[in-house]
Amino acid sequence: MEKGAAKVVSDFLTAVKKGDNATVAASLHPNVEWNQPGNNRFSGTKKSSTEVFQMVGGMLEVSAHTLELTDVTVTAVNGNTVACLVHWKAVKPTGAVLDVDNIDVYSVENDQIVNAKVYSADLAQEDGFWQR
């Protein structure tokens, strides 16, 4: 029996907040398509969970492991699609700060996220923080 899209996404985001990589990995389909916005080193479409983990690993490295999902304030569901308002924070050793809202839209099939599209409330801030 399927958990339902909202439960899959809620479990995924809770795991991201807690650093529960096993649950994060189990929540992503191996061939997930992940669209990261902007014009920086992490922008573009990732076509597997491996590429998503490589992107996140790079983000953690660049942010000196300070990247943190601090809040999920809205979750809205339409069928197997879930939109969430999330908040991210990070601080580089140089003092550069990332403090940004994103709207993430996830598509779920068979209890796994198969597609994610991220919208940033401040692409200039993200591009400046992540750089090329």
**What are the pLDDT digits (tens) for 12-26?**
999 999 999 999 999
Distance CA 80, CA 118 (A): 17
Q: Quick check: 103 and 81 in contact, CB under 8 A?
A: no
Give the pLDDT confidence of 117-129 residue by residue, as tens digits: 999 999 999 999 9
Distance CA 93, CA 91 (A): 7
pTM of the model: 0.94
**CATH number for domain 5-130, candidates 3.40.50.1370, 3.10.450.50, 3.40.50.300, 2.60.40.60:** 3.10.450.50
In this prediction, residue 2 carries a pLDDT of 58
The mean pLDDT value for 77-90 works out to: 97
Is the per-residue pLDDT at 8 higher than 80?
yes
- The domain ranges of the chain are 5-130
The mean pLDDT value for 61-81 works out to: 95
In this prediction, residue 109 carries a pLDDT of 96
At 88, the pLDDT band (50, 70, 90 cuts) reads very high
What type of residue sits at position 82? V
Is the per-residue pLDDT at 1 higher than 70?
no
Give the pLDDT confidence of 21-70 residue by residue, as tens digits: 999 999 999 999 999 999 999 999 999 999 999 999 999 999 999 999 99
Closest listed residue to residue 29, CA positions, set 51, 10, 44:
51
Give the pLDDT confidence of 96-113 residue by residue, as tens digits: 999 999 999 999 999 999
CA dihedral 76, 109, 120, 64 (to 10 degrees): 120
Tokens at 90, concatenated: 């990070």
Residue 9, C-beta contacts closer than 8 angstroms, at least 6 positions apart: 75, 82, 84, 106, 108, 113
